Structure 1
Amino acid sequence: MGGQYRITGNKYPRMRRPRRRGRLVFLVVASVAVLGVTGWGTLQLIDVFTGGKKASAAGKADCPTTTKASPAARALPKPGQITVNVLNATPRGGLAKQTADELKKRGFRIGQVGNATKEFDKKIKGTGILLGPASSLNTSLPVLATQLAAAERRTDTRKGSDVDLIIGNGFKELTKRADADKALAELTTPKSTPTTKKGC
């Protein structure tokens, strides 16, 4: 080329590639994402090794709790308020008196002692039956049942508050006194149930 298009001087124009802003934006976004994931992972590891759950449990510890007592246990009568008729439905002699004497030592009042009626005589295969009026089902019978835990509980239409302990063929002895006293204490002591306010 020549003429008026001749290039003069010692400076030449440099041809630069156009800058790609899209690639730069992508690199920035990718870097931010990587940093975010790394930070999140670090926090998770910190929670694992420092016991993050303990902190949340400590926060719940600040919530006030109250205890609510069960009023039903207080309505149960004491052994000294229960009259027990001890009846023997087995062929073994003297069992009713022996059992009645032991119940008396444990604080129960003893009523009739003797053989069971024909309705039950030699017809009870288990350890025994605790029999009383309908009102005794949730009062006297549970207390007496602590002395013979395996006995069956029944009610009838009798008048009065006396209850029967009818000894069956499977009877060996009353519940050990220590175990019976423990069961009686658990039965007659009101149980407290903790309650927590909502939102804690």
Structure 2
Amino acid sequence: MSMLTPSGMGGKYRITGDHYPRMRRPKRRGRIVAVVIASVVVLGLFGYGALQLFDVFKGDDGDTKANAAPQSHPCTASPAPALKPMALPQPAGVTMNVYNATTRGGLAKTTADEFAKRGFKVKSFGNASAPYDKKVTQTALVVAGPAGEAAAREAGTQIAGSTVKIDPARKDKNVDVMIGNAYTAMASPADAAKARVTAANPPPPAPACGASTSPSAKPKSS
């Protein structure tokens, strides 16, 4: 069976066969794929922009050092107060109490016995009181009043890494030695002798930044 398009309709094509062609719109798969890709790109750009905006408000510019808490610098830190030189008493002139501020048993007695062997007068020993118990992190904390500062320095020379604390409210000359967590043993007699020289004549504090380290240094004339 054959058929020609009717005249007057401007047809130029001849249709043959028993079935007419179905007139369908061209498939749009390519357009759909393009739309999906564009959507993914837009969403990605939106997410990246949101992340950058979050970082701006958070203050994170990728440099962790810039946003870290300001560190103390030798040039800006307040200089430590200078310790006055003073004559230290001999061990026989120091009366002390030895207290154990750690969780290890027996330290007060063994340390007190060692102090006694070195000539110090040990008045008592035992566990540290609540303000110091398990709170002394260094090797030892030597506590005394202003009148007992020289005795405290002398006692501190026997334990390397110890710290002297002066309690203004204390009136007696006795010394309290608080054994701390870092304590392992007392200093050797030779090391104690070296520490005694430093304790009697403390070095001056580090000069402030910008200060001349040489007293004879003078600015050059232009």
Shorter-chain TM-score: what band? 0.5 to 0.7
Distance 1:183 1:134 in 2: 21
Distance 1:180 1:97 in 2: 20
For 1:80, the equivalent position in structure 2 comes to 92
Q: Does 1:163 align with 2:197?
A: no
Please report the RMSD computed on the Cα atoms of aligned residues, expressed in angstroms.
2.1
Structure 2: 5+ residue stretches without partners: 1-83, 202-222
Distance 1:74 1:150 in 2: 20
Q: Does 1:103 align with 2:99?
A: no
For 1:149, the equivalent position in structure 2 comes to 160
Normalising by the residue count of structure 2, what TM-score does the alignment of the two structures yield? 0.48
Q: How does 1:16-27 map to 2 (within 5 A)?
A: none
Distance 2:86 2:141 in 1: 25
> Secondary structure of the residue that 2:123 maps to in structure 1?
strand
Q: Structure 1 residues 116 and 141 mapped into 2: Cα distance closer, same or farther (>3 Å)?
A: same
How far is the alpha carbon of 1:185 from its aligned partner? 6.1
Aligned match of 1:129 in 131, 141, 161? 141
How far is the alpha carbon of 1:187 from its aligned partner? 5.8
Deviations 1:16-55 (A, max 9, x none): xxxxxxxxxxxxxxxxxxxxxxxxxxxxxxxxxxxxxxxx
Question: 2:144, 2:152 within 8 Å by CA — same for their partners in 1?
Answer: yes
Q: How does 1:38-117 map to 2 (within 5 A)?
A: 75-117=87-129
Higher-strand-fraction structure: 1
For 2:50, the equivalent position in structure 1 comes to none
Q: Does 1:118 align with 2:130?
A: yes
Higher-helix-fraction structure: 1
Deviations 1:97-138 (A, max 9, x none): 00011111111110110000000101111111010001222x
How far is the alpha carbon of 1:176 from its aligned partner? 1.4
How far is the alpha carbon of 1:172 from its aligned partner? 0.6
How far is the alpha carbon of 1:184 from its aligned partner? 3.2
Count of residues in Structure 1 that have an aligned counterpart in Structure 2: 117
How far is the alpha carbon of 1:177 from its aligned partner? 2.2
Question: 2:144, 2:173 within 8 Å by CA — same for their partners in 1?
Answer: yes
How far is the alpha carbon of 1:82 from its aligned partner? 0.4
Normalising by the residue count of structure 1, what TM-score does the alignment of the two structures yield? 0.53
Structure 1: 5+ residue stretches without partners: 1-71, 190-200
Aligned match of 1:175 in 150, 172, 187? 187
How far is the alpha carbon of 1:188 from its aligned partner? 6.4
